[in-house]
Structure 1
Amino acid sequence: MSFEIIEQQFGELTELVIQESTTGNRCVIIPELGGIVRQLSLRKGITLFSLLKTPPTPDSLLADTKSASELLFPFASRIPDGKYKFLGKEYQLVKNETGNLNAIHGLVRKQSFNIEEQDIQADRASVKLSYSINNPEGYPFAVDFSVLYTLHADGRFVLTYEAINQGNEPAPAMFGWHPYFVLGNEQADAWKINIPSDEIVDFDNNQIPVGRKPFLVEKPTKIYQKAFDNCFVVNAASDSVTTELISENQDITLRIKQETGEGKFNYLVVYTPPARDCVAIEPLTANVDSFNSGEGLNILAHGKSISGSITLTLV
């Protein structure tokens, strides 16, 4: 196996590419645009599959409002009206969702990340990026956030995040990743999905949780004629769960494994966009609006950290 990390231009953006020459497996990362993964390609047999749908040009990527592949921290999904109460104090975040109804998807999107580390080993290569949150509007806390992307020789792609509270006050923290997945040139209606949950979050008209109800479907279930825009409580009896996106026509399955357990990824959002050409599968460490409900919310004391990993494989 022969790994390399190269730097290349994508319009005015600078990308880092981790690639392995034998298989062609590669990921393309943009540090200055929220540290996102713009491309991820993994091989099965003779075919190299591109697995992420992101805007195709630098300008469209910069203008993207759909959060393609974005890192969502210190909160993911919506906070209604941008208001939350934490440890007895009330806070007002910037209402940045389209229509200005809610705060959505955190404070590190589109921010310029620092490159902390580039590491090449015989069996893997990795890039570590970081961004420091320092008392922005509505979130008066100091938290260092980092993400480590690793491509392994056996075809695994691993995203590992870490957050450390550098301030003196306890800080609320939630993390999620927002990739849109594709499998070849097929439409999503050709696929099946295996969601590791028996419980779905019940939303109001503003996509804010109001309770839970059983999730009773065949597993795996056909995506055909189903419209997902839901949050699930995953089955966290073990230390991880795996969502499967399955193309029987192409004989491939994309596995998205998320760590579970205390402080880990115990929630999952699945979304089928109207174009039906991809599926968003978003591991979350807390429920939607956890800054208000506290469901799954991590509270970081001074100097304390939280971390977790998401692993992708193609079989």
Structure 2
Amino acid sequence: MDIGRVGIWSIALDTQPLSAAQDAVAELDELGFGALWIPEATGKEIMSHAALLLAASRRMVVATGIANLWARDATAMVNAQRTLTEGFPDRFLLGIGVSHTPAIAHRGHHGHQMASPLQVTRDYLTAMDAAPYYGAPPATGLHRILAALGPKMLRLAAELTGGTHTYTVPVEHTEFSRRHLGEGPLLIPEQKVVLVTDPGDARRIARANVSRVIRLPNYANNLRRHGFTDDDLAGQGSDRLIDALVAWGTLDDIHRRVKDHLDAGADHVALQVLTADPTTLPRREWGELAALIH
């Protein structure tokens, strides 16, 4: 599987009619991005969505960032992975994660009670490996990675998967992750970007995304681990926090941040473009970012 050095992370595809999303994915494929990352929250069901987007492209890998393990049992997850891998050899990368307590326990969501996230994840991955399958086997191997932030989950990712996908992290976390993963496993951070040069406008766009994410304990605790304080996390986030989590400015500014992650041990950086209107696809910005591929 070749995902290249730079990919695109997009939740905006969830909000689009399928025809528009598939047209955009075909364009990303032509631009040369190595992978497209899609999330699972309260939008489209991620495994069927991945299949539809894979069908719209010729070369690009579609990766889940991440598929919520509470949304389907281990057998359903791995057999969906096997089905997609058979249909699109070496083009489906399964990212799995345990999600967040507020999301999984909320009435109207999955309604589960979180036990030990680490043990739940270990048991789930083990059950995936033991799941029976009577369909035609895929011609290529299965590829999976784990959403991880803390040291124990990072080590589990290295033990039982091919690596990790990290989200809303500074470059310092990429270096930290590589130390705990060791050499070999994939390390794939998501990096938010705003192609706006005015500091006030850029940070305002950034805060509309970041302020929601840092309310979740997993992310807040991880940022504290890397030197950010409660003052940084208060309100919509300090300028210091925003600038660490969101690369904004010119294409050269974005390139420097991508290089920083790669130099810190990342194998691939998934770029999430933030704009003033998150309901529209940032196709112009995607076109500009394609210059970073080569």
Q: TM-score range by the shorter chain?
A: under 0.3
**Structure in which a larger fraction of residues adopt strand:** 1
TM-score of the pair, normalised by structure 1: 0.24
Indicate the structure with greater helix content.
2
Higher relative contact order (CA 8 A, sep 6+): 2
- For normalisation by structure 2, the TM-score amounts to 0.26
